[in-house]
Chain A
């Protein structure tokens, strides 16, 4: 341990509280440091982590033989810490939700899917379970045999938070919306047009990703990961492959890493372009949407020509990338990136000059930096609220360790700030794309996948366009997946949306929602 270890404050906090966390294992789940903890220390260690300023990242659990194991991942200054706790099925695991509010839904998810009993969990209600399986059934347990889904009965009795009083109205919205978007239910309590409270009800796109992953080989898992959330197929694919490669100790060729980064940046640019346009369209500024959609479309068509898929699905595979590119293609892509940057700049300038648009976006849906820190909001949503964290810059993985990544950030935390962060990230990404293509190493673009000789686990951490994606994979001795948990950034974005709309007016909700843009599919799994 060196003196500048970012986790040192945590160790100090443990000592101050008389806790002995034991030795940290930096290898098993690299790059994170793994701490094997007893169930009795689970809560105290989380409290120590909180007091040392660690950001809560993820919670997942799984079966461990006849026992259970739970993981809690936290981060400080780019260093990741994972607490792992193994406990008996009948034992109760102390809830971390009172310490880290964002742990609430992941814990309820684990309770629904695995039947883990939590102690002092503040919310007794189910989360991912609607009516597709019984309360006594736990789909992620190995003794549960998933059947092809029939129709799920309607869910009428979910106990939403209610409000009473003269003039208070309740507005249920969704899960089916008027636009072609994913399903999710929003329950508003409003005083006239002012939103008093918003409660989300998600889980309508639960696909059983975690269950479907079990028993797959590496290639099968990469394909599945690419379908967690279609808009983040590269990022999720990369995170899963990174986890697999770290578990199996496979070195990916440099050229493959560079190409993966090109793919990821292309995905980032395409989504940012489309979403900035959509935000403006929600304020009835259709011009922006049509122009930016056109630019996005150009980029998608180039994806189809060069990589064979508009959204770049299945381009990232374990051991490298699926297809190589020629020198001509690299040169064209580089030049097109420069052209695109100039065109985007022009459109964004027009948007910035529009007072009526500015009036709609500024001070709308404000997420205060303090609140963002408390919730551990990441990605562009966090960076617009002063949470300056980008895996590419703060915990760089190859090839980003070879480059300097500029991280645009603001503190205003409103819709305008989120749109601004994203528009600046387009420029950063396009520049990065040019630099990557200029320095594209020669060599193979993939290395053959070989299954590890013994059971192992790996952790993948990449910066998707929405934010940090964390993927945990464990393999058995045959190289088959025993547990897969992809933590989409949406787990941390959805709770932030509930808070940022408070005090706003009902018709501004679409703007807030679009600017946060959590993935329903990535969250519901």
Chain B
């Protein structure tokens, strides 16, 4: 009986991850569509990212003469680690079995592993743009990852666990009250998320200017299915940060059981939350220009400080 239940849970978790991955392009196109509307442009159709994937997967892969095997395996590792990260995060169901094996620190580590290979791939071919992108990415990662970890630690102290399911369960059990630690943590996570996913005002995913790129510079040499995997990883990463924001800090509506009706409600609630977050991102990206590269560390310092204040306010104000 226990084994039988377990099997269903594992299947459900896998299905949930598949849904997560499948919805990532949808979230990206949602942000893009809102941006287009805000800028008085005709938006691309909803199917555009999926059609792009079909096109890229059908295309021939071109490799530079100087490309090493690292360049070829990097897309699979980058995409794989990102999917793995997505599988750890409760999407529409809280008590996923993966959460027991991999906690929030593993999540940060998995994303860091993907980034490591992404940066290696950027430098592999030996073009100046790739190297520049990798150098910038690692500079910012060194500042973003500690901030992200502090957010995780604050949540862990709050719920006495680093298990994402437990954290979400804990937040769900709380009466609706304004906790300074959660508020600061939320703000820090949003700032880190903007840097990690390469959005305006830190990086511009739509630019054609090689000299200003961060993420795009690293994948400039990729073609065909390699590029498709890199793109998917980037879209998934954006969705991961949106889902983390939604489910860790505003988890209401998420299902704690595998009941079909509850899961349906959970899905609708999450979709609504993601739609709002995506719209906010689009509005923000339309309102502000990209900041100077050397301002990004300051931006991340703010994120780090906010996360730290979140943790301190827990210790000083809410600690038992």
Contact = CB atoms under 8 A, between A and B. Distances in A.
B38 to A, nearest CB: 8
Contacts, number: 82
Contact of A284 (B39, B204, B293, B295): B204
Interface string B284-301: 011111111111000000
A508 B289 contact: no
A285 B207 CA distance: 11
A356 B289 CA distance: 5
Contact of A508 (B35, B208, B292): B292
A359 B131 CA distance: 27
B209 A510 contact: yes
A440 interface: no
A98 to B, nearest CB: 33
A285 B289 contact: yes
A244 B43 CA distance: 50
Contacts of B285: 284
B8 interface: no
B295 to A, nearest CB: 8
Interface in B199-252: 200-201, 204, 206-212
Contacts of B212: 282, 507, 510
B132 A505 contact: no
Contact of B39 (A193, A287, A359): A287
A285 B39 CA distance: 10
Contacts of B287: 354, 356
B286 A286 contact: yes
Interface stretch (A74-82, A173-181, A308-316): A173-181
A280 interface: yes
A99 interface: no
B210 A177 contact: yes
Contacts of A507: 211-212, 292-293
A303 interface: no
Nearest to B290: A284
Interface residues of B, number: 30
A63 B67 CA distance: 52
A301 B172 CA distance: 59
B128 interface: yes
B209 A280 contact: no
A509 B204 contact: no
A356 B291 contact: yes
A170 to B, nearest CB: 8
A444 interface: no
A179 B41 contact: no
Given A360-B292, A505-B293, A172 B128 contact: yes
B211 A173 contact: yes
Residue of A179, A193, A280, A294 most packed against chain B (CB within 10 A): A193
Given A169-B128, A171-B132, A284-B200, A506 B211 contact: yes
A178 B208 contact: yes
A245 to B, nearest CB: 42
Given A284-B290, A287-B286, A291-B40, A173 B210 contact: yes
A357 interface: yes
Nearest to B200: A284
B136 to A, nearest CB: 8
Contacts of A357: 289
Contact of A360 (B38, B39, B210, B290): B290
B211 A284 contact: no
B286 A359 contact: no
Given A177-B210, A507-B211, A356 B132 contact: no
Contacts of A508: 292-293
11 contacts: A173-B128, A178-B208, A283-B289, A284-B289, A287-B38, A356-B201, A356-B290, A356-B291, A357-B289, A505-B293, A506-B132
Interface of A: 169-173, 177-179, 193, 280, 282-287, 290-291, 294, 354, 356-357, 359-360, 505-510
